[in-house]
Every structure is written in C-alpha cells, then in structure tokens.
Structure 1
Amino acid sequence: MSHFLFSLPASFETYQAFGNFMYEHHINGEMYELVDHIINEWMADFVSKKAEGAASTLDGYQWKDVFLPAGTTLRNVYKRKSYLAHVEGRDLRYEGRSVSPAQFVNAVGGSFRNAWRTLWVRYPNDSDWIPALTLRKKAENLRANKSQQEKIRASKST
C-alpha cells in the first residue's frame, strides 16, 4: 500500500528517542507505520474517554442541595480513624452496600451524628477535602442568590 508521507512536527530529541526505542526493543517496520498506529490509537482513546466522561457526569448522588458526582469520596473520622464511602453511579457505597450519608456516619459511629457536621468530601480529580457543611452552605447561598435574582427579574417585568 502506498502512503503519502509528510513531516510531522516533533522535537529532535523525541525523534531520536523514538528511533532508539524502536532499535533497543527490536521493533521492526517503518517508523511512520508505528507513528500512524500510535496516533490513531491515541485519537480513538481520546474520543472514547470524552464520551465516557460526558456520560458519567450524569451519574452521582444528590444529597439535599449538594450534588456529589460519581467518583466522589466521603470521609468519616471516628476515634481518630478514617472511614471512606464512595459515590458509584448514582449510589453512595460503604462496605459494599448502598447507604445515605446519615447511614454511613451512624454505621461507623454507632449512634446518631449529624452527617453534615461529620463528613468531609473529596471530588474526583481533586486532592482537597472539603467539610460537607461548607458545601451545604455554599449550595444554600447559591439557591438564595438565584431566588433573589428571580424576584428582581419579576419586579422589572411588571
């Protein structure tokens, strides 16, 4: 099969390292064939992950006014030990079963504790733990601001 070849921009170091890699690992064939294969695989993987990410944003757990997307982790600290629950799909899971935040907190503590005051939340791809109560207050403030804006719009239209 005949191919029309053209120059693909890459640093000289990358070109040289790629050639050395092919040589050291006894990869036979033309460099352009491997480059074609790698780029096509990368593009297909990129599109697949993008579609997967779009679909997964619909999944998550709605905890009153706070939405916890799939992949979110909740941490419950009790007697200096951390316990974790994870949002999987549309469920909050702890020890293999679906629970509410209150059930998670009380399963660990053995008594009635306020989940908003007890839990810490870490969103997917984030390294910071945020107190659940902070997220609740932020959601309440957003709702109050939205309500205020709606009132202003309504008064202007009359």
Structure 2
Amino acid sequence: MNAPSICAVPPAAYTELLDYLRQSGSTLSPAEAIVGALKQWIAAGRALAAPVRGYQWKCLFLPEATRVRMKYRDDYHHAEVVGDELIFRGEAVSPRQMTMEIAGDGRNAWRDLWLRLPGERNWANAALLRAKLERQAAVPQPTPATAMTAAVKTMSDALNAALMLIEHVDHQTKTMSERRLPKHRRADDTLTDDH
C-alpha cells in the first residue's frame, strides 16, 4: 500500500510551527520538524506498550536490573532482579528468603533491604519505597477521559512544536534571501574591476 507523501497540516498549526522554528533559531525545515515530532510521538507510544520484566514484591514492582543489598554485621550482601526473578547467590529467592539466608530468622525484609532501581544513583530503603507507593495509591487516579485529554494535549504540544520549528526555518530562509538583495548593500561593498 502506497501512503501519500504529503499530509495535510492545518494552516494555524503550520503557522505556529513556523513561528517556533524562527523563535528557537532551529535550522530544521518544517518537514524535518514534523517528521521528528511524529517519530518521537510514535517511539513514546511504543515504549509505553513494551512489556516490562521484573520482580513483583507484594505491592512493590522491582524492574529488571534492580540491585538489592543488605548489610549484616560488617558485610554487604547483594542480589539482582534478572528477568522476573530475584537472584541471590545464583538462586532465585524471595526478599524474605534472602534476609533469612544472610541473617537467619527474625529479620524484616522491608526494613533490612535497600534497593537501587535502574537509572537511579542512590539506594533507597524498601520500606520507604513501599510507604511512598501506598501514599501515591491513596491519591485518586484520573478517569479515562482525563487520561485521554492529557494524551491529546501532549500530542498537540508535540505537533505545535514541530509547526513552530517549520515556521522558524521558513522565516530564516526568507530573511537570508532578503539580505542578499542589492538594495541592502552599501556602495563601498561593491568591488570594482580597477584592481
């Protein structure tokens, strides 16, 4: 199936994109800005749809590559989430099993385990993360209509940015061609054939 090579962009949106391109000093053409915005929007949608692997610890989800550690006496003991399992000493364990293997019975895994989630630089106590998650769960979730409105606004903002980029490039192109016109040249800027 052959897709049309040109999509209709509402004139107001195109004008807004051209304004943005001009104001931001972008060197993108309007078409490049639109294509970039659409690719970014598609990539964001695909990223949201991709399945996430990790270990579900009661209410707390630990994404794959989460590091887990426990200090017992003077030693640190480490585990990592690999796929959908928590791996400690080469074995799949639960957080409770990890604490029992390290310090025996009577330990509280929520209190004793510290987590470093992927992309984070600092360790966080599991109990504090669980409390934070519980506070967030107490806040009412948006309705589907609210979520759709937010998605539409995000798409609109992305397209407006692309249109502003297009307008800027268009303005830059017009301005550059106007600077080259003879009426804008000084008389002493013109070279003579005498030399």
The bucket for the TM-score relative to the shorter chain is 0.5 to 0.7
Unaligned ranges ≥5, structure 2: 1-45, 144-195
- Residue 127 of structure 2 corresponds to residue 136 of structure 1: no
Per the TM alignment, residue 146 of structure 1 is displaced from its structure 2 partner at its CA by 2.9
- Pick the aligned partner of 1:114 from 95, 103, 108: 108
1:124 is displaced (CA, Å) by: 1.4
* Aligned equivalents of 1:145, 1:134: Cα separation in 2: 17
1:86 CA displacement: 0.3
> Within 2, Cα distance between the matches of 1:75 and 1:146?
33
Query: Which structure 1 segments of 5+ residues have no match?
Result: 1-50, 151-158
Distance in 1 (alpha carbons) for counterparts of 2:64 and 2:95? 15
Higher relative contact order (CA 8 A, sep 6+): 2
Larger-Rg structure: 2
Identity between Structure 1 and Structure 2 (%): 40
Q: Which residues in structure 2 correspond to 1:1-158 (within 5 Å)? A: 58-146=52-140
Give the superposition deviation at 1:143: 1.4
| 3-state secondary structure, aligned to 2:120 | coil
CA–CA distance in structure 1, aligned partners of residues 140 and 123 of structure 2: 27
* 1:43-68 C-alpha deviation (Å, 9 max, x unpaired): xxxxxxxx99x85x610011111110
Looking at structure 1, the residues matched to 139 and 96 of structure 2 have their Cα atoms a distance apart, in angstroms, of 28
Q: In structure 1, how many angstroms separate the alpha carbons of the residues matched to 2:79 and 2:90? A: 9
Distance 1:93 1:146 in 2: 35
Counterpart of 2:133, as a letter, is A
Task: Compute the displacement of 1:125 (Å).
Answer: 2.4
Q: By percentage of residues, which structure has more strand?
A: 1
Q: Tell me the distance in 1 between the aligned counterparts of 2:121 and 2:99.
A: 22
Question: Aligned with 1:146: secondary structure?
Answer: coil
TM-score (ref. length: structure 1): 0.56
User: Aligned partners of 2:120 and 2:138: how far apart in 1?
Assistant: 27
Shift of 1:118: 0.4
Which stretches of structure 1, 4 residues or longer, exceed 6 Å deviation after superposition?
none
Aligned length: 98
- Give CA-to-partner distance per residue, 1:80-99, whole Å, 9 cap, x none: 21000100000000011110
CA deviation map 1:109-140 (0-9, x unaligned) = 02220000101000112220001111000111
* Amino acid of the structure 1 residue aligned with 2:134: E
Residue identity matched to 1:122: R
